[in-house]
Chain A
Amino acid sequence: MATKIVQPDDNLCLLQGNDVHLLSHMRKWIIVVLCLIGSMARGQRLMLTGRIIDEITESGIAGALLLDSKHQLGATTNAQGYFVLSLPFDSCIFEITSFGYKSSQLRIKLTKDDVVQVKLVRAPHQRKNYGEPRFVVPGYASGVLHPTINLQEQKQMPNMLTADIFRTSNYLPGFQQWIPGSSALHFRGTSSDRQGIYMDGVPLFNPYHGLGTFSIFDRVNTAAVTFDKAGFDPALHSGGASTVRVRSRTEEGMNHAYLGMDPIFLKVGGEVNFGKFGTLYGGLRKTYIAGFLKSLSDSFYTAPLVRDFFIKYNWDISPRTQLMVSVLESQDKLEDYNRSGKIGDNGQPITTDLFRQLKQHSGAWQATLSRRERNGGYSEWQGYHSFYTYSDLITRTVYSGIELLQDEKSIFQYRVGLNETGIKYKKTYSPGYRQQFFWGGQFLLRQFSPGFRQTSLVSVGLPALDTIYFNVKIPVPEWAGYIGSTRKLKRQDMLEYSVRGGLLYSGKIRAYLDPHITWTMKPDSATTFIISGDVMHQSYHLISLNNGAFGNDPMVPVNDQIKPFRMIQLDASWQRKWSAMFRTDVSVYYRNLENDYILKPSSPAIVRSRAYASQLMEGSGNIYGAEWMLRKTTGLTTGWISYGFVNSKRNYAEINNGEPFSFFTDRRHTFSLMLINKIGKRNYFTLAFSFMSGNPVTAPLAKYQLPISSSTLNNWNGQYVAITGGTNALRTPWNHRLDIGYQLERRSRWWRESSFNFSLYNVYNSLAIMDIQFRPANGNRKASVRGTTVFPILPSISYFVKF
């Protein structure tokens, strides 16, 4: 920020600021004369005249906006960057914004007419943050302590085979890994299917590769990931239990190419600057070794072929107009399900052939044209399309639309859009349930009332849903809107509140109300205490097919039989900055879940993805937990120590005799230690230790035979069934592991930048149980329950070169 004020003069008063510059004498006298004339003409009003200029070229900036939100005063500059303001007040604070420049603040105290000149600093590579909500929504608690991992931290952390920002996120408190090394985001006791994942604001479906072993996000395409713990944005409509905002990689402003290798992926990409025609950044990842997942579960899956690519193009068409186009796409191909000789607990051969062949294809693209108008208005056209296909089962899942955002900074705002979300199953796998599809438009009218102590915003949405259900078309229109406000309280305390309301019609009227409230208290400059309450509804469900993060988890919209998911969360967080280096975060929370649908156990595997209502069961849940983290952010050694506690229970009438049971995300205790030590100028040594409670499992302990001569037992007479320890009543052993990594960064005349990362995953070969099997006695072999372990000690090397 650079606020430039004119120097004192007999005819110009002294204004608060940093630097002072002289206008040219000729121009100055002209302006002074204008001021004097204006002052005489307007009586008590004082005239403020000035010019906004570029800090480098010192040419005037056209269309820059000055806004005093307290007094609701504003002006925009003309083509030469000049403005004139008539002020009824002697003290004003102006926010100065202009497209392509960092915003600046101008504080003035007038005793007589005055002339100012302000230089704005260019922000050529800090464009609009596309990962953030498109509007600054009052009630959205930006103060809540959202954990974030950025690209630099991701680069330095130890890798397991390939760098993955979702996997490294699992070291943060609040995450419960499905299996160690998994990239699935089990957050605060909910599964990865309840986390709404948005990349630059566009939702992504099932962004996982290799059965959740790794995600599509790494250094090729990702700048940072932010996890919303509380204070959720009411504008993100289908957020589920949490929202995860991924910000895509932005250009570095220099031409370069890169080549990267790690044990799974080959990565190529680079950046090209076309000068005034913009910048193109892109990267491609592709697996070059097949079969690495083969051992996951007795040859269940073989030959995974994976690739994804990311392209982003930025073009400053004019000083006020910008175009951004990005494409992210990924493909998985898993083949061959080995069914031979596998015997189930009941002594019968396994008959499922769901994974005979699996091909999945997903991605998202968006194009945004944004323009700052001369009068300060702002408009943005955005088209987006997110899709997902899954061979043999789902032919299409899409979320697409086009939106116009208008006048972000003016009194009235509006946003008009049309989007469509749908899922369509292949006929061969879903007789009687051919397609499920909903579409709609979203028309938002927003009113923005700027004020120093309070801002408020209203929106009305009209997304319509249309469902074809059992070949019966059931329209499910939905109307939604939200209103929010922010109040500054005494000291630096702040109260943010908003409420989102919606109405669904699906044979019967369903209404929902999502209030959000966040109270931020700052008793001193180093301490922040935040209390928040959130209610979240989700109008479609992603149905977990298993405990992991499969890419084929189906999406089921709300209809006449399926209710919206609802979560109530109460959160209290405390943060203390002990010095410039250390920070402590503590959170406690309680979550109540309603209408949490899962597949019925009786759904045969072959139709598990035909998730129609009769195959789903509705349940509820209660989760409570606590998180603690001590983080060191600066110095040669950085990192954190964290502890997370979670108790995640579910209640389904048809499971465990209707009694609550521990959900599979219930890893009771997690502990992480992350140390990143800088050695020399560019080398890093990283150590990561984690401890986790075991997974709750339902295990066969013995078996017995059903009566042979009972006529009431369907055709199950005489079969063997297992005695189990109750639903998820047993736990696999707790596990812990140590990972280390060493990263060398080099620059030479050959390489613009090279980085070599050596990681040792699971240093002391601590084996964690992923799954349990049942092995009956055979001859001299004793019967046992056995756990399949994955990921033993695993060194890996990655090499990344920019040239």
Chain B
Amino acid sequence: MRNIFYISFFLVALLSSCRQTALDFPLSGRIGEPVPNSLFHQESPVTVFISKAVAPLDSSLVAPSPGMLISLLENGKFKEVLSYNPTINAYQGTVIPTPGNNYGLEVKEGSNQPVRVSASSELPLPPRVSKMDFKDSNVVIGGEYYGTLSYELNDVPGDQIFRLLIYYYNTSMARYVPVEYLTNDRVLRDTLLTIENERFFDDQGFKDGSHRFEVYIKSGSYYAFNNKNDLLIEHFSLSPEFYFYYKSLNDYMKSGNARNSLNNRVALYSNTSSGAGIFAGYSTQRDTIK
């Protein structure tokens, strides 16, 4: 019986010899592949960051390859060639994109080379906000005072996805800082996605119409009675590509995308022809309450 015990112990030790083996996945095919990253909007020219895999599973945000040509298309027609801006280590155009238009991107290794990577996305019309109002400390919730921010958001044509961020101006930090708020609004409660203080919602509840929002911002700590700081309300109209990318990026980061052995990894959304990178548009509308 004792021998059986020893033999069993030996077998367990053998089991511990499990090992790793290399898999024949297509790593080398990705070397040198340009990966464009561009989230463009209606306030500045299109900027494209290019990464390149320099070795399997390794890469860097690279300086331009000699002869690399990045073209911008508008509604399917050539618009301009983006030039390299060493300050930001990215390719930048001169044309301010127009909301409602469709933009395309083509990456070539040289002028006579075929298109290596392409992508396209629409720049949505910016959201329209009206009748914005703020009443200071007019609501008591849980024994504490809250100010009421209300406004009307008018829908724009097509199926829209919006993103809402509210900031206050922190004088000591000299910058806008996201503010947390409470709401009973059904649109803001049944969001598509909530990431910390960012709320993503669609226009299904007020299609081709408008919706009046009401949120409660706590008085005191960051919005003091006697030191009224600016509130910045930022609305984004997102292209579907932007939303899917942002969502998958959030999943990717929140999952740690850790080498968490027993769970599947998150695949980042991509709308490029190569399956890596993003080219997506969004429009913004900023309103300030002083």
Point out residues on A near B: beta carbons under 8 Å.
161, 211, 261-264, 288-289, 291-292, 294-298, 300, 342-346, 348, 350-352, 545-548, 550, 600-605, 614, 654-658, 664, 697-710, 712-714, 716, 719-730, 732-733, 767, 769-777, 782-797, 799
Contacts and interface: CB of A to CB of B under 8 A. Distances in A.
Interface in B33-80: 33, 35, 37, 39, 49, 51-53, 55-61
B140 interface: no
Nearest to B9: A289
Contact of A261 (B1, B56, B59): B1
Contact of B276 (A723, A770, A786): A723
Interface stretch (B147-155, B224-232, B251-259): B251-259
A705 B60 contact: yes
27 contacts: A211-B262, A264-B8, A294-B16, A295-B18, A342-B258, A344-B258, A346-B256, A346-B257, A348-B256, A348-B258, A350-B260, A547-B262, A614-B194, A699-B265, A701-B25, A704-B53, A705-B49, A705-B61, A727-B267, A767-B19, A769-B23, A773-B20, A777-B58, A784-B22, A784-B56, A788-B20, A795-B11
Given A342-B258, A720-B59, A726-B275, A601 B266 contact: yes
Contact of B57 (A161, A344, A603, A783): A783
Contacts of A702: 27, 30-31, 33, 53, 56-59, 276
Contact of A345 (B249, B265, B269, B277): B265
Interface residues of B, number: 73
B19 A789 contact: yes
A61 to B, nearest CB: 50
B174 interface: no
Contacts of A161: 11, 15
A657 B244 contact: yes
Contacts of A698: 264-267
A726 to B, nearest CB: 6
A772 B260 CA distance: 10
B4 A799 contact: yes
Nearest to A771: B261
B88 A709 contact: yes
Contact of A344 (B30, B256, B267): B256
B53 A605 contact: no
A724 B18 contact: no
B77 to A, nearest CB: 26
A774 B259 CA distance: 8
A161 B52 CA distance: 48
A776 B57 contact: yes
Given A161-B11, A605-B256, A788 B59 contact: no
Contacts of A789: 18-21
B239 to A, nearest CB: 12
A296 B20 CA distance: 11
Given A698-B264, A701-B27, A785-B25, A792 B11 contact: no
Contacts of A656: 267
A777 B60 CA distance: 13
B12 to A, nearest CB: 5
A716 B22 CA distance: 30
B256 to A, nearest CB: 5
Given A294-B16, A723-B275, A771-B262, A776 B58 contact: yes
Nearest to B242: A712
Contacts, number: 267
A783 B59 contact: no
B14 interface: yes
Nearest to A291: B12
Contacts of B108: none
Given A161-B11, A789-B20, A706 B262 contact: no
B250 interface: yes
Contacts of A783: 27, 55-58
A706 B249 CA distance: 10
B22 A352 contact: no
Contacts of B251: 600-602, 654
Contact of A263 (B11, B19, B90): B11
- Where chain A touches its partner, the secondary structure class is loop
A712 B60 CA distance: 21
Contacts of A705: 49, 51, 59-61
Contacts of B277: 704
B7 interface: yes
Given A656-B267, A784-B57, A794-B15, 8 more contacts: A350-B258, A602-B250, A702-B33, A707-B49, A721-B257, A727-B267, A777-B55, A783-B58
Contacts of B16: 291-292, 294-295
B265 A722 contact: yes
Given A654-B247, A705-B61, A707-B37, A547 B18 contact: no
A793 B18 CA distance: 10
B172 interface: no
Given A342-B259, A602-B251, A797 B20 contact: no
Interface centre among A547, A724, A793 (most CB of B within 10 A): A724
A724 B262 contact: no
Interface string B127-171: 000000000000000000000000000000000000000000000
B112 interface: no
B4 A724 contact: no
A785 B22 CA distance: 6
Interface string B255-287: 111111111111111000001110000100000
B195 interface: yes
A603 B254 contact: yes
B10 to A, nearest CB: 9
B18 A791 contact: yes
B158 to A, nearest CB: 18
B26 interface: yes
A726 B198 CA distance: 27
B51 to A, nearest CB: 3
Contacts of A706: 37, 49
B17 interface: yes
Contact of B268 (A262, A294, A600, A721): A721
A789 B282 CA distance: 45
Contacts of B58: 702-703, 776-777, 783
A345 B258 contact: yes
A776 B53 CA distance: 12
Contact of A704 (B51, B255, B264, B266): B51
Given A601-B266, A701-B26, A769 B244 contact: no
A310 to B, nearest CB: 23
Given A702-B27, A789-B21, A794-B14, A350 B259 contact: yes
A548 to B, nearest CB: 6
B33 to A, nearest CB: 7
Given A701-B30, A703-B57, A786 B1 contact: no
Nearest to B24: A733
A265 to B, nearest CB: 10
Contacts of B56: 701-702, 777, 782-784
Interface pairs A-B: 8 shortest CB-CB? A704-B51, A602-B254, A344-B258, A546-B262, A601-B251, A702-B30, A783-B57, A783-B56
Contact of B14 (A289, A664, A722, A792): A792
A289 B9 CA distance: 7
Contacts of B261: 297-298, 300, 770-771, 773, 788
B264 A697 contact: yes
B260 A352 contact: yes
A289 B12 contact: yes
Contacts of A701: 25-27, 30, 56-57
Contacts of A296: 18
A790 B253 contact: no
Nearest to B34: A704
Nearest to A726: B267
A710 B39 contact: yes
A795 to B, nearest CB: 6
A295 B14 CA distance: 10
A725 B276 contact: no
A604 B4 CA distance: 44
